Amino acid sequence: MPFLSEWVEPALFLDWRGVRVYHCYRDNSVNQGPLVYCFTVCPFCEPGHCCGDCPALDDSRRCRAVFDLRGLPGYAERQRHADLDDEHREFLKTAIAVGSLTAEGVVSSYPA
Ligand SMILES: [Zn+2]
Ligand SMILES: [Zn+2]
């Protein structure tokens, strides 16, 4: 039986101060489950594939919408929580509060 793959909106991880952060998925497939450290502020962008229509493209044509949480400033100093998702939510709120993460993507990050 042919399998029709259709686009599914990624799960919203955080919606805070106008910034919506979505999960990224292993092999860009929802069935593979969400990646732990990879997120995107554009639901149409995936790791290694930019929708080409998001405002996150900078001069280097690197998509800023998709990011690795660990690349954001301050990750090493984050507050620890028992639940990793809670920990990451709190950290993302901090990143949004200090302006390193915006609705258009990552503004500043450390090289991996
Ligand atoms: Zn993009
Ligand atoms: Zn996009």
Q: Is 34 a member of any domain? A: yes
> What is residue 91's three-state secondary structure?
helix
Domain boundaries, position 43: 12-102
The answer to whether the beta carbons of residues 26 and 38 sit under 8 Å apart is no
Residue 39, φ and ψ in degrees, nearest 5: -140, 165
Q: Is 107 a member of any domain? A: no
The per-residue pLDDT for 112 is 45
Q: Is 32 a member of any domain? A: yes
Q: Is 33 a member of any domain? A: yes
Residue appearing with tokens 């996150």: 56
Q: Is 6 a member of any domain? A: no
Q: Is 57 a member of any domain? A: yes
The per-residue pLDDT for 58 is 58
Q: Is 28 a member of any domain? A: yes
Ligand 1 centroid – CA 74 distance (Å): 23
Cα–Cα dist 25/45, whole Å: 11
* Nearest-ligand number for the alpha carbon of 54: 2
Residue 97: CB atoms within 10 A of its CB come to: 11
Ligand 1 centroid – CA 77 distance (Å): 28
Ligand 1 centroid – CA 104 distance (Å): 9
Give the model confidence (pLDDT) of 45-65 as tens digits.
999 888 888 765 556 667 889
Q: Is 24 a member of any domain? A: yes
The total of structural domains in the chain comes to 1
The per-residue pLDDT for 31 is 85
* Nearest-ligand number for the alpha carbon of 44: 2
- The residue type found at 43 is P
Ligand 1 centroid – CA 31 distance (Å): 22
The answer to whether the beta carbons of residues 50 and 63 sit under 8 Å apart is yes
